[in-house]
A = this chain, B = another copy of it.
Amino acid sequence: MIRIFNDFYTNKPKIVMNNGISLKELAAELNLAPSTVSRALNDSYEISEATKKKVISMAEKLNYQPNPFARSLRENKSKTIAVIIPERINYFFSQVIDGIEEITSEHGYHLLVYSTHEDVEKEKKILSLLQNGRADAIVMSVSSQTSDVSHLKRLHDRGLPILFFDRICSEIPTTKFITNDYESAFEGTKHLIQQGCKKIAFLMLSKELSITKERHRGYVDALKMSGMEPEPAFSLHCCHSDEDNTQLIWELLLSSNRPDGILSSVEKLALATYQAVKKTNLSIPDDLKIISFSNMSIAGLLNPSLTTITQPAETIGEECAKLLIKKLTKPRQPDLLNQVITIPSKITIRESTLVR
């Protein structure tokens, strides 16, 4: 369907895409003022029930759809939330977004989703694009390259609600949702020790990340509690490339002083370990036991099945969204509190840490 309008200046007919009827046209159809129609549709007390009825039925008949940009311009809010994650092909982040959408969609909010691909420059660019009010709030997990946080701080200083989860940014005074990183890493390491591991390595993405700091602290403390001394070479610093990581871990496994246990702080490094092990004649769990933070639903189908520390990803997403919705929809809400909310993970023991 195509509609013809007369251009204001040229007065020549022009063809435009049919974005439906406008409030003004709807009002004309009803012989009412636009203001009245607007109020009627927004269920204002100033409008009689009779005209409300008429307006609503005509709006439905003509399939009136309010223009979101006119509304955003006027109201100075977009009904949109930006979600920024470091990678998209990731069970955890996908589940978190599912949780967020579950809540936000109920309240008519839309989700702009961006992936930084672990690249802080992309992250900066995305945040820069978000300066203009395109989104009413941001919920994000920082990239592994993020150490300078001025680009985050700027948005926060502008008054844009920003909320962190998983990989949080302690410098920004706002609410953050995480799992019990320290305790889970501590318990995971303890589990490896109980299974007889003597030389436990820790796999991490970047030393700057909140999750590696906390999880590493748990790892170190668990070692110390058992009288072990954390060996620096056993804290392996990996990167974004799966191939490079596999290579790094492979080299670690072939070193004369190779570990017999691994705590992987993120899922992808556990998978890289599996790939690396395939290239050796070592075997899991006999020669090497491994436990990993991971939200794979199919950890049980791996060869061997992987002992995991699973985050309540969907719940984390839901809680983020609930908080934001409250902040955005209720009147006179204070700024997001500077607090860290912890939701515990669950350890599932499988073959990869078995003693046999």
Residues of A within 8 A of B (CB): 1-2, 16-20, 63, 65-70, 72-73, 76, 78, 80, 88-91, 94-95, 97-98, 101, 105, 108, 110-115, 129, 131-134, 157-160, 242, 271, 274-275, 278, 297-298, 300-305
**Contacts A133-B68, A302-B301 hold; do A158 and B17 have CB atoms under 8 A apart?**
yes
Known: A20-B132, A65-B131, A298-B302. 8 other contacts (CB 8 A): A17-B76, A65-B132, A69-B133, A88-B98, A111-B114, A112-B112, A271-B301, A302-B303
CA–CA, A305 and B133, complex, Å: 47
The residue among A157, A300, A304 with the most chain B CB atoms within 10 A of its own CB is A300
Which residue of B111, B134, B297 contacts A113 across the interface (Cβ within 8 Å)? Answer: B111
- Name the distance in Å between A264's Cβ and chain B's nearest Cβ: 14
Q: Are A304 and B303 in contact (CB under 8 A)?
A: yes
Partner of A301, one of B19, B111, B274: B274
CB distance from A172 to the nearest CB of B (A): 15
**Copies of this protein chain in the complex:** 2
**Which of B70, B90, B114 has a CB less than 8 Å from the CB of A73?**
B70
How far apart sit A242 and B305, CA to CA, in the bound complex (Å)? 18
Separation of A69 and B80 alpha carbons in the complex (Å): 12
Determine the distance from Cα of A98 to Cα of B117 in the docked complex, in whole angstroms: 9
Could you tell me if A159 and B2 are in contact, using CB atoms closer than 8 angstroms?
yes
Are B78 and A88 touching (Cβ within 8 A)?
no
How far apart are the CA atoms of A2 and B302 in the complex, in Å? Answer: 54
- Let me know if B158 and A18 touch, CB within 8 A: yes
Q: How far is B303's CA from A304's CA once the two chains are assembled, in angstroms?
A: 7
The reply to whether A115 and B98 contact each other, CB–CB distance below 8 Å, is yes
Identify A19's interface contact among B63, B67, B132, B300, CB under 8 A. Answer: B132
Distance between Cα atoms of A76 and B20 in the complex (Å): 12
